[in-house]
């Protein structure tokens, strides 16, 4: 990496010029600001204590030393204490040639080391996946791909919340009012059918709450004292006691949910290495809590509920077991975290969960610490902001949720209409159009979701996401397809041009150098995205590369009106651009079509 060599040579310069031995931490090298000439900038101010001279004189002396001792540096300029270094054209050309045959350029091969366990999705089996789940799944899958590309072993995990009071609500509603309805008898997608009864429970429960409030109950008491809620609690107790009739209904409705989830995951293009089920592991957490109670890490209240007191840690008391002995989410997460550590010995346990659960994971980390488990600090909550629509935030229990399946259907329709309106499908066979609209629609959805920093809330606008201009998935996909059309017109595969360029005869313009500089930044971009758990870093890099190439494509002839040597070089430049676009989009889980 050239920056490291510049860094080493700068340390050498300080020793020779000023007799000073300087630590690496004093050498700050940045990408040169676009307003100035140069490729890399050395910040001179921290070095004045060693040179005992003013910034300009120090920069001049170091700059001259670097030019004399490094073939890679051909010029420099000094702007107010910043030494801007210009890398030679020969270096950039050699670099370009060195990466052309590397289809995995930028990716760090996995060698060894502890894995990262990334949990995402984590649906409840009482309703289908919705828009919020879409962002969760896309983030979790993309981050896993990026971490792999940065040289890590990654285990993608889905924890299915298939037990608990919410699942009992759907079950109870179906038992009371379902009349044996099934996905086959109704024609409703299986997870949507389960969700139908969750919404029905909520409606009936609200009716009962309203009736109790009219009789003088407070809202809080009415919520818990409503007959339906009491029935749901009894159902949960029966489930935990393994009542066979209840387990039969539970297994049936959960299987409907699983089948529906699998279909949605496949369409969305996400997958998992391991699937855990809360029903199979919640007792482990319960046993840990009860053991912690005997050791006085936890305490019981008069109603027999079990808690942990974290007030000394700046937090609150946290419920771990209800008074009837049933578990809560925290109980499950304690057992799951310990199980995963024992199974995988990971360097990180990454939880992709919305920012409304920040407190939950602070508590989880503290509990693991209180249990005297030294690995508590490997827990990392990757919190992300909520997704809103132009019409307002979703509310799942009211039945107004935007289901993931419906959203993907809408994206397909929007992609179809936008593409046809632009007249971009006239030469496509009908059988290819369905695939193309799916690729464009899902690409638009994924890119729009992932280009925003995960920590930020976002407004998702389906119409804006499908735009063939601007910072969108379709714009990037179209650029990739445009590059592939160059090869079709050329009549040869790009590989055939690898031996047909004499670089000593190639005169390269500034736009071409700019694109090659962007190639150079690709490996560091992957590392930065991995360090920050941010697909947005990849998305925004890809957009910058695509912008640069499109500007170049508009201004620069590639196949005609140029010497064959130049044309061959430009074909290879286009090829490398396309390869990086495809790699970047793959890290976002997005396909790129050869034709659009």
Domain 2-87 CATH (choose: 3.40.50.300, 3.40.50.1110, 3.30.1360.70, 3.65.10.10) = 3.30.1360.70
CA dihedral 415, 419, 420, 425 (to 10 degrees): -120
Give me the residue spans of the domains in the chain.
2-87, 120-398, 417-587
Q: Would you state the structure tokens that stand for residue 116, as one six-digit string?
A: 């990262």
Radius of gyration in angstroms for the set of CA atoms belonging to the chain, rounded to a whole number: 29
Q: Domain 120-398 sits in which CATH superfamily?
A: HUPs (3.40.50.620)
pLDDT string in tens for the chain (596-residue length): 899 999 999 999 999 999 999 999 999 999 998 889 999 999 999 999 999 999 999 999 999 999 999 999 999 999 988 999 999 999 999 999 999 999 899 999 998 899 999 999 999 999 999 988 999 999 999 999 999 999 999 999 999 999 889 999 999 999 999 999 999 999 999 999 999 999 999 999 999 999 999 999 999 999 999 999 999 999 999 998 999 999 999 999 999 999 999 999 999 999 999 999 988 888 899 999 999 999 999 999 999 999 999 999 999 999 999 988 888 889 989 999 999 999 999 999 999 999 999 999 999 999 999 999 999 999 999 999 988 877 644 444 444 568 899 899 989 998 998 888 877 677 788 888 999 999 999 999 999 999 999 999 988 888 888 888 889 999 999 999 999 999 999 888 889 888 888 888 888 899 999 999 999 999 999 999 999 999 999 999 999 999 999 999 998 999 988 888 899 999 999 999 999 999 999 999 999 999 88
Rounded Cα distance between 267 and 405, Å, is 9
Name which CATH class applies to 417-587: mainly alpha
Alpha carbons 306 and 550: distance in angstroms, whole number: 62
How many C-beta neighbours within 10 Å does residue 376 have? 18
DSSP 594: S
Strands 348-354 and 116-119: parallel
Total residue count of the chain as it appears in this document: 596
């Amino acid at each position: 990496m050239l920056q490291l060599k510049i860094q080493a040579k700068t340390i050498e310069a300080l020793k020779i010029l000023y007799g000073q031995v300087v630590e690496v931490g004093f050498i700050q090298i940045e990408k040169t600001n676009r307003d100035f000439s140069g490729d890399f900038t050395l910040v001179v101010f921290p070095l004045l204590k060693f040179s005992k001279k003013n910034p300009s004189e120090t920069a001049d002396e170091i700059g001259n030393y670097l030019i004399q001792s490094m073939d890679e540096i051909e010029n420099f300029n000094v702007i107010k204490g910043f030494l801007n270094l210009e890398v030679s054209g020969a270096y950039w050309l050699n670099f370009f040639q060195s990466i052309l045959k590397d289809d995995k350029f930028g990716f760090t091969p996995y060698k060894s080391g502890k894995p990262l366990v990334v949990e995402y999705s984590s649906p409840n089996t009482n309703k289908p996946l919705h828009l919020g789940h879409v962002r969760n799944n896309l983030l979790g899958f993309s981050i896993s791909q990026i971490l792999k590309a940065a040289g890590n072993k990654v285990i993608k995990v889905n924890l299915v919340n298939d037990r608990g009071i919410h699942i009992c609500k759907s079950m109870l509603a179906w038992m009371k009012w379902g009349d044996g309805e099934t996905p086959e008898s109704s024609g409703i997608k299986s997870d949507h059918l389960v969700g139908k009864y969750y919404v029905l429970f909520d409606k009936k429960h609200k009716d009962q709450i309203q009736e109790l409030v009219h009789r003088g109950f407070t809202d809080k008491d009415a919520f818990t004292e409503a007959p339906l809620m009491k029935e749901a609690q009894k159902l949960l107790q029966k489930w935990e006691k393994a009542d066979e009739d209840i387990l039969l209904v539970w297994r049936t409705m959960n299987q409907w949910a699983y089948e529906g989830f699998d279909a949605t995951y496949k369409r969305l293009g996400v997958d998992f290495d391991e699937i855990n089920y809360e029903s199979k592991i919640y007792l482990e957490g319960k046993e840990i809590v009860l053991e912690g109670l005997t050791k006085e890490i936890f305490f019981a209240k008069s109603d027999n509920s079990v808690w942990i007191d974290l007030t000394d840690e700046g937090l609150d008391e946290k419920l771990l077991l209800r008074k009837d002995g049933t578990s809560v989410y925290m109980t499950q997460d304690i057992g799951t975290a310990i199980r995963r550590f024992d199974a995988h010995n990971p360097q990180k346990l990454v939880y992709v969960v919305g920012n409304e659960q920040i407190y939950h994971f602070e508590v989880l980390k503290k509990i693991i610490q209180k249990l005297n488990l030294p690995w508590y600090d490997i827990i990392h909550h990757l919190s992300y902001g909520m997704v809103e629509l132009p019409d307002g935030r979703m509310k799942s229990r009211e039945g107004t949720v935007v289901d993931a399946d419906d959203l993907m259907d809408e994206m397909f329709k929007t992609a179809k209409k936008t593409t046809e309106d632009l007249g971009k499908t006239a030469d496509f066979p009908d059988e290819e159009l369905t695939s193309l609209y799916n690729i464009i629609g899902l690409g638009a959805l994924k890119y729009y979701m992932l280009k925003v920093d995960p920590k930020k809330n976002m407004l998702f606008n389906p119409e804006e996401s499908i735009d063939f201009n601007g910072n969108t998935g379709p714009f990037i996909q179209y650029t990739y397809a445009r590059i592939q059309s160059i090869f079709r017109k050329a009549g040869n595969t790009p590989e055939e041009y690898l031996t047909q360029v004499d670089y000593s005869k190639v005169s390269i313009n500034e736009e071409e150098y700019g694109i090659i500089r962007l190639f150079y930044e690709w490996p560091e971009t992957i590392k930065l995205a991995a360090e920050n758990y941010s697909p947005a870093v990849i998305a925004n890099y890809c957009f910058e590369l695509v912008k640069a190439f499109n500007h170049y494509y508009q201004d620069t002839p590639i196949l005609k009106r140029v010497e064959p040597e130049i044309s061959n070089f430009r074909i290879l430049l286009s090829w490398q651009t396309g390869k990086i676009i495809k790699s970047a989009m793959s890290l976002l889980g997005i396909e790129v079509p050869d034709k659009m």
